[in-house]
Amino acid sequence: MVEPLIVLKDLSKRFGRKIATNRISMSVRRGEIFGFLGANGAGKTTTIRMLCGLTKPTRGTGSIAGLDIWKDRFRVRSKFGYVPQKFSLYGDLTVLENLRFFGGAYGVPRSKLRDRVHKVLADMDLELRESERAGRLSGGYKQLLAMACALIHEPTLLFLDEPTAGLDPKHRQRIWDLLYEFSQQGTTIFVTTHYMDEAERCTAVAFIDQGHLIARGSPRDLKESLSGHILELQVEPAMTAMFEFRKLEGVYGADLRSGNLRIHVEDPNALLRSWQDHWPFPHLKFLGYSWAEPDMEDVFQAYSEGYYRQHRSRKEPAELERTS
């Protein structure tokens, strides 16, 4: 069994009265592409900042390669690279100057720095842009440069916080191709994303909601947990039907997909039987239905909308205690 690289136990963070993360316990295995998912404000970035030693946990513990994420934060930083949400490199410096600066900051020996710079320039398709100022690069190339700087010291772990947000499909695909390559070379990837097609590409994912870890598993296992609960309906007019179905008890979500309605239902068979006895929407025309295979968008919506609260037996963690 592969040993975990990251281990979190009851990791929590409070900002005043606001609890950003509450008793998160999980592990990430070496070599995984681990997707950390959740709505805006769920606690994803706070978790990453604690893992990177940028924010002190209020309680609980975390370790990377056996080193405490706070007590050993200066030692552990040599083991990971971090790409934040917003571009944070030096815009007035050239691509080459940024790489040299971060290579020195990460302690890359001068004898190796030149080869490392050439390697990451080639990996990120930045060889023809090494003399351009970083601030003048397009959004996609800025992100590739940020990844190059994060990888200059050959870390075993790479944190990426929304790495493809706002990028065009070409650059999104290029970044994911690179992540596959790094993973194959043994680098562990910890990535947050709002794109569910990207969540499908991860080997494992976890969902965080209002600071609580609510689910963890492979994309396949999480999708299978919703099997038999997703219906695709042909109803006219579809837009009106979507809003009507969202009001129904036992319906956790209703959305339009390719002109049809896709609904997540607690007991779809009971709902269909009730409609056979009585169709309650005289202003809507029911044309048929089919069973739909869940995808990661269904999973994300299910957990974001509180489906887990109805179907997961767990104790709600007590409110985070105040610490001095």
The residue ranking higher by pLDDT, 94 or 193, is 94
Query: Is pLDDT of 304 > 80?
Result: no
pLDDT score for 309: 55
The count of other CB atoms within 10 Å of the CB of residue 309 is 12
Which domains, and CATH codes, for the chain?
4-216 (3.40.50.300), 228-292 (3.30.70)
Query: Where does the pLDDT of residue 317 fall: very low under 50, low under 70, confident under 90, or very high at 90 and above?
Result: very low
pLDDT score for 1: 64
pLDDT score for 310: 53
Single-letter residue type at 187? T
Are the C-beta atoms of 43 and 208 separated by less than 8 Å? yes
Q: Tell me: the pLDDT tens digits for 62-115? A: 999 999 999 999 999 999 999 988 888 999 999 999 999 999 999 999 999 999
Residues 172-180, mean pLDDT to the nearest whole number: 89
The rounded percent of the chain whose pLDDT value lies above 70 is 94
The residue ranking higher by pLDDT, 55 or 168, is 55
Are the C-beta atoms of 209 and 304 separated by less than 8 Å? yes
Per DSSP, the three-state class of 137 is: coil
Burial pattern 78-90, b for ≥16 Cβ within 10 A else e, equals: ebbbbbbeeeebe
Are the C-beta atoms of 74 and 64 separated by less than 8 Å? no
Mean pLDDT of the chain: 89
Paired tokens of 45: 């970035």
Q: What is the Cα–Cα distance from 307 to 310, expressed in whole angstroms?
A: 6
Burial of 30 (0-12, 13-18, 19+ CB in 10 A): middle
